[in-house]
Structure 1
């Protein structure tokens, strides 16, 4: 009953017509036993379960479409395995980089023990306290640099496959944020003599689906292994789902980009519009795969009780609320470790801008190391246009929630269509265009190869004229 009450309280303000009365959220620092919103919705609503089944059927239809296409065109069945294998190539090298990152993360615990010894000396000689604090900060910076330097160097030296490099880079940022969280929580303990957590709890925190450190988390009593297997099967299915979308809807438009010296602007526009629907489907699949299926699988294995990894962001009409609800795991870390510490000194507006800037830079680093080139499309969409939309929808989103929810979804469609067009264009331009002296990691090659030409010879036929001609 307590869990259901928590769900009712979380959705307080919802109405039957789907309009939500959005109020400023109170800071929720405490963890509690609760399920993810989609888990509650799928279990309690036949309508949401039907939508889930629709996506499953779409996956099955895409699977059949791929099988038929491969048999007719190539005479063999591929079912997207080639794209998956290419996307996660050199998996051994990726695992080695992950093991290195995990080893550096584990190294922080004995360093905290050593820092606690220096803290005991500082308690006897208070004049040394500031020096010990500086040593602790420098030590944390050194560990963070050590953790990030090798993966960044290795990925920059020799590009890893897209999926493998994205996994390594995301894991790098995840561990770096966890080290900041545990150091912030345990650093003062080393100075005042409070006992540090056990190594077992430290390892648990490294794998737990949260970026906020606590000495205790709400735990479930049992592990439902059937649920774990189901969520991991969902992750695998979504990976193949996205590969189907890439192979059937993205590559036909952009895989030959750069092989010809010129390309018509109309062809680019048509390709961009064709990528809108697969782009937004991939956006939704990525959200479900990472923030629901993947995190819930690990939460179930680790008996981690708080599954509120996101909230009902899809019904909001204000971008500020969307950014809070879309990914509560990262949002909570940004709030506690960047926004709240600097807001009293810089003000709320500048602190918010800094949070957006840091987050957009992190996203851009992940994409740059994953693709093997720097192309700040997401930086512009998220770090610039996203920031502008926050004040624009602050008051208007309250007054016209339905209209601005529609506008928000329209921006998702257009934004993802642009992302799923410009990044493949740059990726294949670097593969297909001949090398030149001006090639650079930071300069987009698709801007100069191929040459975009405009042929304004489009004509519009009068439908009445067409009808008269057909009658004759």
Structure 2
């Protein structure tokens, strides 16, 4: 027994290194398991917190942009249960019979027309205004601010050390805004015409109501006024474009006059088109009430029309959502952004456009030189494109909205995430798209092409391309339909070609085509402008004006 007792401590001593080894291994295993558990727990907690932050962001930062909710303010249109067939008779067609737009008959088969949604106005902020409430997006915004300051310092140092003066692009402003007083005078006279249209519309509605028992005389009066209205709109458009040629306006001044004239044309048509349906239907209808029979035709008061003329929307309503007060700091920031982008445009014109094409027509030109010039303008053209969007659709429209307390600030959507040209055209400029949809597409779809979506869409693209080309052509005083070709030809083709493209590839191709297309458009127009300016070309017949100066210069 004594020998056995002595042997046990010896065995324990012999096994002690093995036990220590196992203990060390268990401790390492335990520490590793705890470390992995802590890491996994930390990652899980971080994921949960990230989900909570995203949920809080959706609930607080972007409450109006939830696409999954059909009642969200992101959706700016609602579908009516029935679409009335408005004609010259209060109850239906010209014979006084009620008609059903979706009814099919054997004698007059028509394609079925689905109800089209109506525009609704909701108090909401612009998309970028909501995005810039996020700290990360605001940091990116500050980075662009610093880049703009660097551009400004570049201009100052270049002017001082190279030219011995500081210009800050003021020469570009002086040249581009020459004869601006003529533009302001024409703008004032245009508003006289615009307000005269209101009283002419009022006179048509009152006379039509008095002629109600005599249906033939009433239709004659209505058709006569319709012809006069179309003629007056054509004269208005002709006068505004001819003034650009008569006064020999520079590009910026001409763009101001033509864009403002186009805006007023669209405003007038929106007012007449919206309220003519009320008068023809013989009912008083306000935006927040049901239709009720009226003894007199409903004509909106002058203050509603006046507010609509200056409101940042092209869709007429009697009332719009309004903000409780004017945020003067917000308005001042938007105005400063307009001024900053204007100076950036002056820098791009002097350092890139004029530098690349100022001697066009005076220097030898071949394919290598053209390729270098095109690709040298790609990035500046992308900056022009993006800053143009930010200048007009965000800064300027938000500035005017704040001064007028206009509540609905959805002037654009997240077009930068689009993967098809359908989505890009719908979300890029919501203000103009709503007008085209409400007063062109719907009328074409319901009354002209009788349910053909393709024909109505092509009509919208054709009208939009013609207006874009008309503005650029008369502002530059040239016939050079590059914009019409790219917008009405290439752009329409890409709408159909990219409808089934994968999202990632579609978005990449969209941005590639936008940067390439804008670079080509700006380069081609700059080449034509400087070719006409530098080359002594003789215009002996009207056909000489149709040939591009770029071609005539080097051939």
- TM-score by length of structure 1 reads 0.88
The structure 2 residue matched to 1:35, chosen from 106, 125, 136, is 125
Q: For 1:87-141, what per-residue CA distance to the aligned partner results, in whole angstroms no more than 9, with x for missing partners?
A: 1111111111211221111111111121122112222322323212212312321
The structure 2 residue matched to 1:384, chosen from 451, 469, 489, is 489
> Secondary structure in 1 aligned to 2:365?
strand
Equivalent position of 1:162 in the other structure? 251
Question: For the pair shown, which has the larger CA radius of gyration, 1 or 2?
Answer: 2
In 2, are the aligned partners of 1:104 and 1:146 still within 8 Å (CA)? no
Equivalent position of 2:351 in the other structure? 248
Equivalent position of 2:407 in the other structure? 305
Return closer, same or farther for 1:419/1:401 CA change in 2, 3 Å cut-off: same
Equivalent position of 2:426 in the other structure? 324
Q: For 1:253-289, what per-residue CA distance to the aligned partner results, in whole angstroms no more than 9, with x for missing partners?
A: 10011123x3122111101101000001110000000
* CA shift for structure 1 position 354: 0.8
Q: Distance in 1 between matches of 2:539 and 2:486?
A: 30
* CA shift for structure 1 position 4: 6.2
Matched, 1:149 2:251: no
Runs of 5+ consecutive residues of structure 1 not aligned to the other structure? 15-21, 452-472
Equivalent position of 2:153 in the other structure? 64
Equivalent position of 1:348 in the other structure? 453
In 2, are the aligned partners of 1:80 and 1:247 still within 8 Å (CA)? yes
- TM-score by length of structure 2 reads 0.75
The structure 2 residue matched to 1:364, chosen from 469, 476, 492, is 469
Runs of 5+ consecutive residues of structure 2 not aligned to the other structure? 1-55, 70-74, 80-116, 283-295
Q: For 1:31-76, what per-residue CA distance to the aligned partner results, in whole angstroms no more than 9, with x for missing partners?
A: 0100100000011x22222222222222111111111111122110
Alignment of 1:117-128 (within 5 A): 117-128=206-217
Pairwise CA RMSD of aligned residues?
A: 2.2
Q: Distance in 2 between matches of 1:287 and 1:64?
A: 24
State how many pairs are aligned.
Answer: 437
* CA shift for structure 1 position 5: 7.7
* CA shift for structure 1 position 211: 0.5
Q: Distance in 2 between matches of 1:227 and 1:34?
A: 15
* CA shift for structure 1 position 442: 3.3
Equivalent position of 1:198 in the other structure? 301
In 2, are the aligned partners of 1:356 and 1:387 still within 8 Å (CA)? yes
Q: Distance in 2 between matches of 1:233 and 1:131?
A: 53
* CA shift for structure 1 position 6: 10
Equivalent position of 1:216 in the other structure? 319
Q: For 1:187-227, what per-residue CA distance to the aligned partner results, in whole angstroms no more than 9, with x for missing partners?
A: 23444233211111111000000111111111111111222
Q: Distance in 1 between matches of 2:538 and 2:258?
A: 29
Q: Distance in 1 between matches of 2:500 and 2:332?
A: 44
Equivalent position of 2:553 in the other structure? 449
> Secondary structure in 1 aligned to 2:553?
coil
In 1, are the aligned partners of 2:78 and 2:119 still within 8 Å (CA)? no
Return closer, same or farther for 1:8/1:441 CA change in 2, 3 Å cut-off: farther
Q: For 1:289-345, what per-residue CA distance to the aligned partner results, in whole angstroms no more than 9, with x for missing partners?
A: 001111111111111100000000000101101100001111011111111111244
